[in-house]
Amino acid sequence: MGKLDGKVALVTGSGRGIGQAIALKLASEGARVVVNDLDEAVAGETVGAVEKLGSKAVACVGDVTAKDFGSRFVDTAVSNFGGVDIIVNNAGYPWDAVIQKMTDEQFEAMLEIHTMAPFRILRAASDFIRTAAKAEKAAGQEVYRKVVNISSIAGLYGNAGQMGYAAGKSALVGMTRTLAKEWGRYNVNVNCVAFGYIKTRMTEPLGDDQSVAQIGNRAVNMGVHPDMLKAMNQMIPMGRGGTPEEAAGAVYLMCSPEANYISGQVLLASGGLIM
């Protein structure tokens, strides 16, 4: 018996990296998962990995910034699994530049994926959540649901060259604390997990084989200068970056029954680094 048996979890950006690790962690505790990615193939890989754990999953492939995505995402969960219990707004990417070189397109893209996309998903889920909570209360049932918004240490403290990314991730903190106040009456715990340096393709050392993410019709370079990575490891009290599995563990904490009286909080998973 897992602690999330019977729960339905929606995880954006769960085809690879941290998102995939989150999906697998929730599934390992019994949750059924709605997987999302831009790439159908990698979304399918996560679905297969969930099924190998003995749980169930379905893919909702597409761009989270599409205006109809939130409704489609929620409808996928309800039509396949009958409900919504956990929403993890994880999808995101950095598109960096110092302010004098940052275009409107870059800045707006960061707000669109890190702020507007989670807003639309949560708004789309509101009708189901409110209706279900009222019915459960009338039946004398106590059911808790979870929202975990993924922010960043850059969203809490800023980071040079990441004006748009930091703005979008910071906005998620305000959204988290506001929704915690709005949805507390429905037994929904709304929290935020902010990551520090986690080892993914976004934080691989820059080199000749630099990773490039295809975001719609844009090719966005991934990676961090090796000297910066060395400096980060020296600043982190634990002496290293975290793994996707460790990042997923922090998200799971906020999804577990032990978090039923925790809401409106920001958990910093950074190995002790506080900028």
Tell me the catalytic residues. 165
Q: Could you list the beta-strand ranges (E) of 197-242.
A: 212-215, 218-221
Question: Helices 69-81 and 117-138: crossing angle, nearest 10°?
Answer: 40
SS3 of residue 45 by DSSP:
helix
* Burial status of residue 103 (CB atoms within 10 A of its CB: 0-12, 13-18, 19 or more): exposed
Quickly tell me which residue has 């409900």 as its tokens. Answer: 83
CA pair distance 206, 224, nearest whole angstrom: 5
Question: Counting every residue, how long is the chain?
Answer: 275
Question: For residue 111, what are its two tokens?
Answer: 């707000």
SS3 of residue 139 by DSSP:
coil
CA pair distance 248, 236, nearest whole angstrom: 19
Q: Would you say 172 and 186 are in contact if contact means Cβ atoms under 8 Å apart?
A: no
Query: Which residue, among 152, 157, 145, 148, has the nearest Cα to 175 in the 3D structure?
Result: 148
CA pair distance 24, 32, nearest whole angstrom: 10
Q: 214 - beta bridge partners?
A: 219
Quickly tell me which residue has 């019977």 as its tokens. Answer: 6
Question: For residue 130, what are its two tokens?
Answer: 């409110």
